[in-house]
Amino acid sequence: MNKSCVVLLTMLSLDVLAESKQLICQDSAQIESERINNLANKYRNENKFEQAEQYNAYSKKCAASTYGSQFTFIFDSNVLSNPNHSNVEVAFEALCGLDVYDVVKGFIETTPNILIFKFRMPWPIGDLAFNIDRKTLKGGPNTVRNYNCILKDVDTSSNIL
């Protein structure tokens, strides 16, 4: 009976130690601004002047932004030491924060060197594996590492439940 209580208390204490974390990964606003400017030029060359002006305005807003696109991954910290996968929520912003996608669910896999977030984004992106180097916190889709990530605690102090 005493062993059962010790096991239960140990399990409960491990759950209490798990904290919600978020990894915020951003790429360059300059690169996004150039990409959007190229789209504006493409539309202008195709005589699609309304779209060209819209993307030209996006490009100007990106020039003043701190990031081009941003992924935010929210997960429990206990997954970082667990080799199995766990659930994660993924938020995505494109066009320097002007285009905000709905939050999607996915899962995280861990290795000693890499965190792998797998999820499905809306069309046209589809299935995505976003990998983050655990030492440098550089990440990106598949083998690309053009996003700089920071790890933050999630403030749950005002949660009702």
Q: What pLDDT does 5 receive? A: 37
Whether residue 13 is predicted with pLDDT greater than 60 in this model: the reply is no
Whether residue 129 is predicted with pLDDT greater than 60 in this model: the reply is yes
Q: What pLDDT does 84 receive? A: 66
Q: What pLDDT does 47 receive? A: 97
**Cα-based distances in Å from 124 to 34, 121, 128:** 20, 8, 11
Q: What pLDDT does 160 receive? A: 78
pTM for the full predicted model:
0.80
Q: What pLDDT does 15 receive? A: 44
Average pLDDT, integer, range 95-109: 93
Q: What pLDDT does 79 receive? A: 76
Task: Give pLDDT tens digits for 115-127.
Answer: 999 999 876 778 9
Q: Which helix (H) or strand (E) holds 4?
A: helix 2-17
**Cα-based distances in Å from 1 to 5, 6, 8, 11, 17:** 7, 9, 11, 16, 25
The helix/strand/coil state of 114 is strand
Contact by Cβ (8 Å): 71, 44 = no
Q: What pLDDT does 18 receive? A: 67
More confidently predicted of 79 and 48: 48
Task: Give pLDDT tens digits for 56-68.
Answer: 999 888 888 999 9
Average pLDDT, integer, range 125-143: 93
How far apart CA 121 and CA 91 sit, in angstroms, is 10
Q: Which residues face 7 on adjacent strands?
A: none
Helix pair 29-45, 49-63: axis angle to 10 deg: 170
